[in-house]
């Protein structure tokens, strides 16, 4: 299986369990690895035979900017479902980073990584 990666998609969302997170929002960063067979697209040099990663990026940002959820686990699941709706995408790895999470000790990042497939 071939892989198309998008790294560092940034969007402002209002996800979290605390009222401040819901009211003020914060930046979320998303990394994606889409698993698909790129041979048909490469053979014919045809965008229609692969995933349009620009469209995927826009859809993922819309999910992050959309309806708030409590958990980044839920957000990651929604993003994975969105990616798997694209023809040809058989598997997706989603990493959601929450670098401004409300943690009382110094930290660099909080993230969740999930892998989902059509099977």
**What is the set of active-site residues?**
98
Count CA atoms within 13 Å of residue 20 on its CB side.
3
In order of 77, 97, 111, the CA distances from 17 in angstroms are: 17, 16, 16
In order of 45, 107, 109, the CA distances from 103 in angstroms are: 48, 8, 10
């Amino acid at each position: 299986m071939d892989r198309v990666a998008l790294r560092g998609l940034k969007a402002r969302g209002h996800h979290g369990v605390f009222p401040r997170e819901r009211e003020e929002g914060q930046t979320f960063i998303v990394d994606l690895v889409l698993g698909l067979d790129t041979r048909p697209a490469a053979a014919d040099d045809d965008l229609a035979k692969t995933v349009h990663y620009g469209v995927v990026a826009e859809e993922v940002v819309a999910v992050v900017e959309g309806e708030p959820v409590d958990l980044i686990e839920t957000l990651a699941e929604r993003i994975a479902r969105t990616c798997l709706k694209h023809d040809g995408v058989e598997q997706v790895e989603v990493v959601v980073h929450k670098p401004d999470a409300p943690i009382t000790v110094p930290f660099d990042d909080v993230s969740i990584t999930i892998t989902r497939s059509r099977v």
